[in-house]
Amino acid sequence: MELLSENKCFGGQQAVYKHASTSCSCDMTFGLFLPEESRDGPVPVLWFLSGLTCTHENAMIKAGAQAWAAEQGIALVFPDTSPRGAAVANDDAYDLGQGAGFYVNATHAPWAAHFKMWDYIATELPELLAENFPLDMERQAITGHSMGGHGALTLAMSLPGRFKSVSAFAPISNPTQSDWGRKQFTAYLGDDESKWTAHDASLLMQEKGFDGPILIDTGSDDQFYDLLKPEAFAEAVAKRRQPATLRLQRGYDHSYFFVSTFMEDHITFHAEALYAE
């Protein structure tokens, strides 16, 4: 790994690293905040998956998460949202290609060569973190925003026992029925819609649910509300009788102003699960 930057932050350290990824066959970058407690031993881990057009940097700089993570003694991981580089396939649209990995393993050209974000987040990056940093990988939680909220929910439900808790800010909740999903799944996974269902949080909720606490916030004035389809996830939660806290926040939009407003709530929520006996 190459250390790109390191800054003291709320008593801990906010660093950015680059490494050669075997999953994505290119260099990948991630941010890692280690609280002061990590000097004395392994600390719990909260993953933050970002949304469309973002890199590792957006949430790391804008979400205000480090202050609350430092208070709780929790590490934060900020992965990138896709593979990148001159040799990596891309598209002129903002919602496909670099910056829009959708946390799936692409199976169709030209994406399949590099777009293996599921493997990267589920396997490669956790192993890299466990080998190199004082992290307690038995105590992990996950959250994300928009496309990253979709990724957080699908990973949490598909990897039972991995995460103690899951939350999301304005997640894409029913991508198989949304233009934010159908377009990307067709490109990455092909026309067979049966291959898409493993990456739809509402369908996964109906099929599997999650053995732990769930918290989701969405703004009532979110400009992408119709693409997010929060009502589909709420209906699936109700049908399964899944314990979950689903909140519609009056007047908030899709921005990081919304995310940062409720970040304390989410980190406190995860801390309760991570430190539970």
CA dihedral sign of residues 195, 197, 200, 201:
negative
| Euclidean distance between CA atoms 181 and 188, whole angstroms | 10
Is residue 57 within 8 A of residue 11, CB to CB? The reply is no
| Euclidean distance between CA atoms 153 and 201, whole angstroms | 6
What values do phi and psi take at 226, rounded to 5? -65, -25
Does the annotation count 114 as an active-site position?
Answer: no
Q: Which of 146, 167, 173, 178 is catalytic?
A: 146
Helix (H, G, I), strand (E, B) or coil at 5: strand
Q: Which of 114, 145, 222, 270 is catalytic?
A: 222
In this structure, the number of other CB atoms found within 10 A of the CB of residue 148 comes to 30
**222-257: buried (b, 16+ CB within 10 Å) or exposed (e) per residue?**
bebbebbbbebbbebbeeeebebebeebeebebebe
Does the annotation count 179 as an active-site position?
Answer: no
| Euclidean distance between CA atoms 206 and 239, whole angstroms | 7
Q: Which of 145, 150, 199, 254 is catalytic?
A: 254
Does the annotation count 27 as an active-site position?
Answer: no
Structure tokens at 108: 């169709």
Is residue 160 within 8 A of residue 211, CB to CB? The reply is yes
Residues assigned a catalytic role = 146, 222, 254
